[in-house]
Amino acid sequence: MPKKILIFSTAYLPFVGGAEIAIKEITARLEEIQFDLITLRFDRALPKFEKLGNVNIYRIGFTANKPNMSDLVKWPLKLNKYIFPFAAAGAACRLNRKNNYDGIWAMMAAFAGFAAVFFKLCHKNTPYLLTLQEGDPIEEIKKKVRLVYPLFKRIFIKADFIQVISNYLAGYARGMGYQGELAVVPNGVDLKNYELRITNYELRKKLGFSDDDKIIITTSRLVEKNGVGDLIEAMRYLPANVKLLIIGAGELEKNYKLQITNYKLEGRVIMLGEIKNELIPEYLSIADVFVRPSLSEGQGIAFLEAMAAGVPIIATPVGGIVDFLRDGETGLFCRVSDPASIAAKIKILFANKEMAEALRNNAGELVRKNYGWDSIAVKMEKIFNQLTV
């Protein structure tokens, strides 16, 4: 009989983020384990149940299919995440009566973590694995949960095992009072997508870049923590032939477009919005440097993808970034919230081809050695086996 693991995740495919990719890639490689997953049904077009890869997906919650809804219609949807812990725990209890799970797995210490705790309170003997993927500043997270902080701590304390994607998040787990077994297993990269770095000149031409242009790229959610505003401001300190390509969407999109206009950078900064994840390697292939001046970062899979694609990276020494970026060896560090520092490091990289090549080679070797999904899945399999003995 295969082992059965129930996953709690607030979102899942087709919605794609680091956590969702991790679930997809790990479960696909552990075919001897049966995975069920409870998540929110954000879109009425999505089925309540379907099987994707090695995961049976159960979607719950309010949905709507009207693009222009009144606030009266929208308000139940806004409650979805807050109802999820209770609804997911109830759904898990019903599924458990049929499947008798060998363990549960909560993706992140938020709504999914609360659902796991509620289930665990009624099923004390079912092992509980918590994965931490958080990228927001820890103090900001604590501020958000201050009204339920004692219960929030139980997400950590009730876990039988915690897996984190960086040493930074290991410190977070210990700081929340967790004293049990813990392993650092990072998110990875689908290496086959980055085996050959062939510049897509047709795409470069389509985007309006000349042969003399130097291209900076960032793939980021347009939120405060990713520092995209600092990167846009850094363009004021760089020559006219340096262009910036921004891939991503988010709440600050209008702010950044206004910033570009105010700085008169319309011809030099291109915002492409959301791009399908499988197309990202094509855009990385035309870039000379990847920059994300983060204010906080749980790990930063976008950096690893750039490294795998052979694009030298510039980042800030925050959170999980320091696990893989060694200054002057696998990338360059700039200062936090300092556009002039960002620009200075970009100039250094553009002026020193030998350095850029060394950074590319070292970073690529590091990713291939430590961040392939195959090796990460093996580590996760050991955790599941240890957890469900």
pLDDT at 193: 86
Q: In terms of domains, do 20 and 168 share one?
A: yes
Q: In terms of domains, do 283 and 329 share one?
A: yes
Q: Which residues contact 148 (CB under 8 A, 6 or more apart)?
A: none
Q: In terms of domains, do 177 and 254 share one?
A: no
CATH number for the domain spanning 143: value is 3.40.50.2000
Q: In terms of domains, do 45 and 16 share one?
A: yes
The number of angstroms, rounded, from the C-alpha of 61 to the middle of its chain's C-alpha atoms is 23
Q: In terms of domains, do 246 and 321 share one?
A: yes
Structural domain span for residue 134: 3-188+372-387
Q: In terms of domains, do 300 and 344 share one?
A: yes
Q: In terms of domains, do 361 and 213 share one?
A: yes
Taking residue 22's Cβ as centre, other Cβ atoms within 10 Å add up to 24
pLDDT at 343: 98
pLDDT at 73: 43
- Report whether 256 contacts 232 (CB < 8 A): yes
pLDDT at 196: 63
Q: In terms of domains, do 289 and 144 share one?
A: no
Q: Distances from the Cα of 119 to the Cαs of 104, 191, 239, in angstroms?
A: 9, 36, 57
pLDDT at 76: 56
Q: Distances from the Cα of 366 to the Cαs of 310, 326, 360, 369, in angstroms?
A: 11, 11, 10, 5
Residues of the chain with pLDDT under 70: 64-78, 196-197
Buried b (16+ CB within 10 A) or exposed e, 283-322: bbbbbbbbbbbbbbbbbbbbbbbbbbbbbbbbbbebbbbb
User: pLDDT, tens digit, for every residue of 267-310?
Assistant: 999 999 999 888 999 999 999 999 999 999 999 999 999 999 99
Q: In terms of domains, do 134 and 202 share one?
A: no
Q: In terms of domains, do 102 and 204 share one?
A: no
Q: In terms of domains, do 97 and 246 share one?
A: no
Q: In terms of domains, do 301 and 378 share one?
A: no
The per-residue DSSP string of 4-15 comes to EEEEE-S--TTS
Number of domains in the chain: 2
Taking residue 146's Cβ as centre, other Cβ atoms within 10 Å add up to 8
**How do 55-60 and 49-52 pair as beta strands?**
antiparallel
